[in-house]
């Protein structure tokens, strides 16, 4: 009880509305002097006077500072936030890279855009490159021109085995020679790129089966 009264007297004496630590330290020293007088509890050490001064000005103790640091992540809240953000970015980058590898392995990335283009667009791009690589382009322009005349509005993804057969029939009705039709179909499948290879393979298998059954050598219209 005597300590409480002494602290109250010291606070009034020093006018602690906004005290600084040095002033309170002096007050704590005087308080220590009082305690060393007869009737006081005991003398106060330098450390005890400093502790009392800090408490009087509201400075947190070492224990309180430690507790506050634990509550805020040791004062590294900003660093923790940055670390969390970096982990998220790294995870997204890993997922994107894995997707790119899968697309490259499956051949998806190179053909996806081509598959949603129209046959007319593919034909224009094909002929432009063909002209740079070949001196004679007359027949290529003729064959591709017939393909785009019949199938130009279709998207590449919509071209199937049935589409090729319909094209062959339409050209036969126009009295075109089977050899020319076969060459036109070859251009058609080249316009499709990799997507045309399965169609070519199925037609080749059918041609082989026909040749085996009839012994004709597979003569007629085919890719």
Q: What pLDDT digit, counting tens, does each position of 46-76 carry?
A: 666 666 666 655 556 666 666 655 555 455 5
How high is the pLDDT of residue 9?
A: 61
Q: What architecture (CATH level 2) is domain 113-214?
A: Orthogonal Bundle (1.10)
Average pLDDT over residues 4-11: 57
The pLDDT value given to residue 19: 47
More confident residue, 184 or 104: 184
- Among 16-20, 156-160, 173-177, the range scoring the smallest mean pLDDT is 16-20
**Residue ranges per domain, the chain?**
2-59, 77-108, 113-214
Does the model's pTM come out above 0.95?
A: no
Binned at pLDDT 50, 70 and 90, residue 144 comes out as very high
Exposed, middle or buried by CB within 10 Å (0-12, 13-18, 19+), for 188? buried
pLDDT of residue 90: 82
Tokens at 141, concatenated = 């322009």
Gap between the Cα atoms of 77 and 80, Å rounded: 5
Q: At what angle do helices 196-214 and 161-173 cross, to 10 degrees?
A: 70
**Chain segment 118-128, per-residue pLDDT in tens:** 999 999 999 99
């Amino acid at each position: 009880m005597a300590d409480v009264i002494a602290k109250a007297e010291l606070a009034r004496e020093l006018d602690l509305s906004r005290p600084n630590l040095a002033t309170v330290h002096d007050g704590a020293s005087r308080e220590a002097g009082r305690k060393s007088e007869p009737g006081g509890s005991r003398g106060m050490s330098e450390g005890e006077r400093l502790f009392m001064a800090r408490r009087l000005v509201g400075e947190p103790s070492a224990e309180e500072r430690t507790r506050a640091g634990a509550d805020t992540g040791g004062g590294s809240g900003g660093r923790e936030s940055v670390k969390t953000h970096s982990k998220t970015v790294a995870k997204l980058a890993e997922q994107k890279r894995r997707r790119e590898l899968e697309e490259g392995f499956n051949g998806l990335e190179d053909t996806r855009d081509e598959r949603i283009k129209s046959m007319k667009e593919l034909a224009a791009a094909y002929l432009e490159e063909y002209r740079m690589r070949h001196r004679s382009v007359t027949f290529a322009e003729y064959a591709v021109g017939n393909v785009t005349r019949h199938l130009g509005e279709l998207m590449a993804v919509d071209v199937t085995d049935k589409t090729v057969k319909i094209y062959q029939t339409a050209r036969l009705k126009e009295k075109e020679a089977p050899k020319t039709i076969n060459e036109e179909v070859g251009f058609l499948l080249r316009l499709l790129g990799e997507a045309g290879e399965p169609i070519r393979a199925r037609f080749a298998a059918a041609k082989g089966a026909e040749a085996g059954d009839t012994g004709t050598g597979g003569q007629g219209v085919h890719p």
